[in-house]
Structure 1
Amino acid sequence: MKPVTPFDSASSSLYFEEAHSADVVNARMAPNADARLRQVMTILVEHLHAAVKEIEPSHEEWLAAIRFLTETGQMCTDWRQEYILLSDILGVSMLVDAINHRRPSGATPNTILGPFYVANSPEYENGANICLDGKGEPLRVAGCVRDIEGRPIANAKLEVWQTNDDGFYDVQQKGIQPDSNLRGVLTSDAEGRYWFRSVKPRHYPIPSDGPVGRLLGAIGRHPNRAAHLHFIVTAPGYDSVITHIFTPDCPYRDADAVFGVKRELIAEFNKIDDPDAAERVGFSAPFWSVSWDFTLAASTQPRRAIP
């Protein structure tokens, strides 16, 4: 093995060599570059060069990688972000989220936002039915928003969205689903309580007709997300929670394509056959019911953004 000599930035920074390739690249950064950006770029270059040296790709393989990244960018639209999808299936989205949302014990954990969130969804009174297309098994969702000490949080905002029973979000089926189907914003009452009507979520595939889908197929992975409802819960003075609740009976619960399932977010869904109970919530029996409380932690100082 050829011995590796120490890198001398003063004499070697102008000339590329395999042994110290990352050092040569990083030495080109200007001394007045933003310190955080310098840190990020230094680490990225070091790990990228280390991976290339370990893989030793052929020219054809490297060009295939470039084509994949190019096609990933070309697949992006106003409502579909293929790079977010790539980050999701590699587990990076969940890792970044975990790093940025280390909360006290007992606080509701975060999970990924996903690519189909839509701001300014319709506002509903508690008890409203957010299912506009009438498809699926009726579901009642109810619970309370509390702080770490167990005190109710009044006027917390809860944004919820999910797919319909065909496995699509409304934005994926413009002109087929009603606008804002299975989306809504609710507000907790004076005792922190909320409740609404919807349909039991079902599993669905992430978009698999692009380069990310082809990559999943090539490595023998399925594209299915475990059945879930999305939530964003916010209240002044508290950290916002971006999260899901998952059904316990989904076949993809333990193999979610984007690693979004956390044990603490698996809920208990109960099937209710009592006609009187169904009538009280505006359903016909049978229907599903889930109780889910959100626990918010006091606000923390946000991390400084990279310029």
Structure 2
Amino acid sequence: MRNINENTITPAVLESLADCPDPRLKEVLSALVRHLHDFAREVKLTEAEWMAGIQFLTATGQKCDDKRQEFILLSDTLGLSTLNVALNHAKSSQATEATVFGPFHVADAPQFELGDDISGGAAGEPLFVRATVRGPGGEPVADAVVDVWQADTEGLYDVQRADLASAQGRGVLRTDAEGRLHFRGVMPVAYPIPTDGPVGRMLDVTRRHPWRPAHVHFMIVAPGYETLITHVFSDGDRYLDSDAVFGVRSSLIGDFVRHPPGLAPDGSEQASDFHVLDFDFVLERAGTVGAGNGVR
């Protein structure tokens, strides 16, 4: 491999992968090399720009920890997360659409019983969620594991608050024998994604806003069905058509109905306004549509 130049470097790198024992790894790496090299040639990448890119990716990694995933945020804001979801989670017409995972999911969230308040003291107007989880034939999906997480009235997730000793606005519940789910949280609000890292700087220099429309995250897992990772968005939110991470689907827009003080769905008497969301989730059977059915 002597005397490599801009015309011979790509085939030389591809040849170096010839003995890769994993066919899929060889396919992915070969395509990555070809597209990266073509990108550099197309834009005539300068050495200064190349170094700036390395520094940007380094800073992105340095911003990651057990509570913050800047690389997911980068993938989201470049539309790669939504593209990946679309490629791997094609749905039949009756199934609930998937959307981006986001950077704020936390494993091992607290377990709750149906009807419990998952807010953990998070600030916000009360929200009562009533949902069903069904299969494509309308059959109830009993004992489905439903992971829920959301921001508070200031647009912050619990992991963004260093002073919290316990979880807020997140929890894991299971559907009943009829596939029903109900719990209490807080009314979501629109919020900006974190802008204190390299992704925020990228948005700033490209004159993009960082806002996401109000939503609640759901991840639903049940044997025999494809895992569903999705949101329910609040109808009427000003950012539905300009979501910073391109995650909105019309089918995922729910009606968060505002009610005056009075009797809530759980039988409690509410002294202030509260909201009620009714939403039905339909799971795809595992292995029937699309390529992906695992938890990311």
The TM-score normalised by the length of structure 1 is: 0.88
**CA displacement, residues 104-158 of structure 1 (integer Å, 9 cap, x when unaligned):** 2211111111121112222222111112225211111101111101111111111
1:42 to 16, 30, 44: 30
Aligned residue in 1 for 2:248? 261
> Would the alpha carbon gap of residues 278 and 146 (structure 1) be closer, same or farther in structure 2, given more than 3 Å must change?
closer
**Equivalent residue letter for 2:72:** I
Matches within 5 A, 1:1-307: 14-133=2-121, 135-175=123-163, 177=164, 179-273=166-260, 275-277=262-264, 280-300=267-287
In structure 1, distance between residues paired with 2:66 and 2:115: 33
Report deviation, 1:248: 1.2
Q: For the aligned residues, what is the CA RMSD?
A: 2.1
How many residue pairs were aligned? 292
In structure 2, distance between residues paired with 1:251 and 1:86: 23
In structure 2, distance between residues paired with 1:252 and 1:144: 27
Identical-pair percentage: 44
Report deviation, 1:15: 4.2
The answer for unaligned runs of 5 or more in structure 2 is none
**Equivalent residue letter for 1:45:** V
The structure with higher relative contact order (CA 8 Å, sep 6+) is 2
In structure 2, distance between residues paired with 1:237 and 1:304: 10
> Would the alpha carbon gap of residues 215 and 155 (structure 1) be closer, same or farther in structure 2, given more than 3 Å must change?
same
> Would the alpha carbon gap of residues 304 and 24 (structure 1) be closer, same or farther in structure 2, given more than 3 Å must change?
farther
Equivalent residues of 1:278, 1:286 under 8 A apart: no
**Which stretch shifts more, 79-88 or 296-305?**
296-305
In structure 2, distance between residues paired with 1:76 and 1:238: 32
Q: Secondary structure at the match of 1:85?
A: helix
**Equivalent residue letter for 2:167:** S
Equivalent residues of 1:278, 1:285 under 8 A apart: no
Equivalent residues of 2:60, 2:199 under 8 A apart: yes
**Equivalent residue letter for 2:174:** T
**Equivalent residue letter for 1:205:** P
Equivalent residues of 1:170, 1:178 under 8 A apart: no
Q: Which of the pair has more CA radius of gyration?
A: 1
> Would the alpha carbon gap of residues 298 and 152 (structure 1) be closer, same or farther in structure 2, given more than 3 Å must change?
same
In structure 1, distance between residues paired with 2:61 and 2:24: 26
The answer for unaligned runs of 5 or more in structure 1 is 1-12
Report deviation, 1:249: 2.1
In structure 1, distance between residues paired with 2:265 and 2:148: 22
In structure 2, distance between residues paired with 1:144 and 1:246: 17
> Would the alpha carbon gap of residues 203 and 294 (structure 1) be closer, same or farther in structure 2, given more than 3 Å must change?
same
Report deviation, 1:80: 1.5
